[in-house]
Amino acid sequence: MGGIGDMTNQKEESKNERKAVLLGTGHKALFFKQLCDAAAKYERHVHYPDVHYLTVDHMGAEQVIEITDPGLARTGNREMALTDADYAILYYSSVNIDSLQALQPLVQPLQNRKNLPILLVCDSDEVILEETASQHTNSTSEGYESDDRDGMKRHYSMEQIRKSLDDNVTSVLDQGEKLAQDLGPRCSFLQISSSKSSDAKKVLTQMVISLHKSGPVRNRRMSKIANMLRSKSSDKSSDENMIFEAVNEKKSEKKKEKKGGKMEDSKVCIVM
């Protein structure tokens, strides 16, 4: 279980700290809590309630992940979170089509981040389905407990309810997979059940593995760019030194010629 605390001391961003953005409707509240519990430890930012720091143990190493929940509205905060993110988690519930449809406006902004790994999480918690069916059955059967025929009707109604719910879940699952395709090849689709705490750990593990795969590539590119800049700077300094030495050498020759009473015209050709 992860521990919780407030960020009382602000530190410089660690080299192994990565940034993730979590997007979805309010249905993701339980899912996010399970992510925090699955982490080795987690902390809330002292000033920003939508920012948390999760420490994940993976293969003997600790990975600190800053998770931001900027909300679904198109705000400057959301755009900045998407721009800074190294990873994106999109969450929806298979028993609530609205939670999936709320993610549709994110397709274009996320497509603009072509190299951003994305995980689309579908929560198909069967416990929620059972509770929904039970509540619906109780409301329709109230007042008919003594009639066996009504008991058969109640059983039939429960089967119909479950079938309807199952059909709806299947439809939402299919639409979720379609959304994953629309988001591009960097998007993975994962079905979980919030009744299984182990599923939250799977999400963290998949995120860390993906970050490790994408991280070194970007670091190597940055290193190459830095080396190129250093190389150009070094070449420029070398050229300037050569010019400076050539000019000084020529001045020295002129002084010697003056002292000897001889003045000869000469030219200096400097190859840049």
- 148-182 and 126-141 helices cross at what angle (nearest 10)? 150
Residue 187 buriedness (CB in 10 A; 0-12 / 13-18 / 19+): buried
Give me the mean pLDDT over the 141-154 stretch: 40
CA distance 157 to 113: 47
pLDDT value at residue 75: 94
pLDDT at 25 over 50: yes
Per the model's pLDDT, the better-predicted residue between 247 and 52 turns out to be 52
Chain centroid to Cα 120, Å, comes to 11
In this structure, of 4-13, 33-42, 64-73, 202-211, the range with the lowest mean pLDDT score is 4-13
CB neighbourhood size of 207 (10 A): 25
What is the band of 212 on the pLDDT scale with cuts at 50, 70, 90?
Answer: confident
Question: Which domains are seen in the chain, by residue range?
Answer: 3-126+184-219 (3.40.50.300)
Please state the pTM of the whole predicted model: 0.62
Task: Please tell me the predicted confidence (pLDDT) of residue 92.
Answer: 94
- In terms of pLDDT, which residue wins out, 102 or 136? 102
Per the prediction, the chain carries an average pLDDT of: 73
pLDDT at 3: 58
Q: What is the pLDDT of residues 157-201, one digit of tens each?
A: 545 545 555 656 678 888 999 999 999 999 999 999 988 889 999
Mean predicted confidence (pLDDT) in 67-88: 95
What average pLDDT does this structure show over 247-265? Answer: 56
Contact 115, 184 (CB under 8 A): no
DSSP reduced 3-state for 130 = helix
pLDDT at position 246, please? 56
